[in-house]
Every structure is written in C-alpha cells, then in structure tokens.
Amino acid sequence: FDLKGCITYINKAGGAQFRVNPSEIVGKDITDVFPPDIANQNLTAIQKVIDTKTPFYNEREMKFPFGNMWVSTRLSPVFDKEYQVVSVLGLSIDITERKQVEDALRKGEVELNEAQRLGQIGSWDFDAAMGSITRSKEYYRVYGLDPKINRNDFQEHLKTYTSESSALLDSAFKKCLKTGEGYQLDLEKTNADGTSSWITERGEVKRDDKGKIVGIRGTAQDITERKQAELEITMLAQSLKSINECVSITDMEDTI
C-alpha cells in the first residue's frame, strides 16, 4: 500500500485468498476493493504503521461476500534512505482452519473437564524430561489440593499418600517408565484433618514418534465410598460367620 491506502501490488496468492484478480485491483483504493468495515480497519492499521514506524500484527475474523475467514495480518513499514516511511508491506495468511481446530480443542477441553467433574476423575500428565506433572482441575479436587501452592513434581505427588502406598506407586511408576507396562493401584492417602481416603490411580506410558518413552499419563479417582462399602461388607461377612459358628456349636450341644 502507498501512504494513502492505495494498493500498489498484490501477488497471486493474495488475489486467490480474497477472491480478487490482482491485475484488476492494483492502483485502486483499499475502500474500493474490500467491504467497508474491513477496509476501514486496514486503513487505521496502515496509518498506525506510518505514524509509529513500527510493524502491526493482529488476527481477526473478516466477513466477505463469499463467507467468513480468519486472517492473520502483519503490516510492516518500508523506509527510504532518510528513514521515512514510503509504503506499507502487508502479509496476510488464511488461518481459518487453525482457528476451527483451536475452537474444537477448547470445546473438547470444556467437555472433558465437565466429564471429569461428573465422574470425579482427575487426570495428569508426567513429563519425564522435565520431571513435572501437569494436572487437570478435577485432579486437585480429588486430592484436596490447592493448585496455587502445590508443586507439580513427582516427589510432591508421592507425599500425597501414606508411606506404604507411596512406595507402591514409586515402584510402579519406575517400572512403567522402564518397561512400558501400565499400572492400576488402589492407594491410601492421609487428609489434612487426619482422616484417610482411597484413590484408584491408573497410568500408561507416552511415546514420541520414534517409540521412545517420554512420560506417563494417567487418571485418579476417589474410591473412598467404595472402600468403605467393601469394609462394611467384610465386617458383615465376619459377623455372619461368627453367628453361624455359634449356631453350629449350639446345635452340637443340643444334639449331645
């Protein structure tokens, strides 16, 4: 563009992107080529580049007669020997597909977080090179941790559990990284109030495109209620067994 916003050059890719013929728009004012809102936005950006002598960059969705398109735009000043701006060079890239992927990923992340909340399942991702763990929001709720004050390293993760459960997890974790064998463990943790809770933790290895193990990803689910139910059933079974033994002894005495 020249200093007045007149198009002095556009390549074939630029013409194809905006559905225009380069030979037909060179020499025209930007307001004669693009819809008013897009033209005005570009004119404002061009003037800013001229006034500040610095590049301008943004990403925005543009509405054209042929449909909407996300565009990444970079405008750079072109100087003469006296360091005066003589024109503005624009680079435009169609990023619609990338934006659609990002939007799908955001929606997927929201749905995943909601599913984890409903299922009370936290997820985590361990980077072997960094020795750090990335955790989901639900993970912190499951473990009763504050994401603002808890460090994301494996040793800190081990401290979550009792010494016996910590040793089991440490052994399974190292074996997983070494052999690629996944694991599932029921682990006991001590809460801040002195009570205990139980977590089922599952882990499986992550590999790079060459098959090398680069970390472990997994899930954590609070199974305290299930453990309590299992304990109650065990205690009930023991009570019934004791009652049956007493009845059997009484029957024998009656028989005698």
Mean pLDDT computed over every residue of the chain? 82
Quote the pLDDT of residue 48.
92
pLDDT at 171 over 90: yes
Mean pLDDT within 66-90: 89
pLDDT band of residue 179 (cuts 50, 70, 90) is very high
Quote the pLDDT of residue 243.
63
- Token representation of residue 254: 């009656």
Quote the pLDDT of residue 253.
52
Mean pLDDT within 69-94: 90
pLDDT band of residue 113 (cuts 50, 70, 90) is low
Q: At 231, give phi and psi (nearest 5°).
A: -65, -45
pLDDT at 233 over 80: no
Q: pTM of this prediction?
A: 0.48
pLDDT at 50 over 90: yes
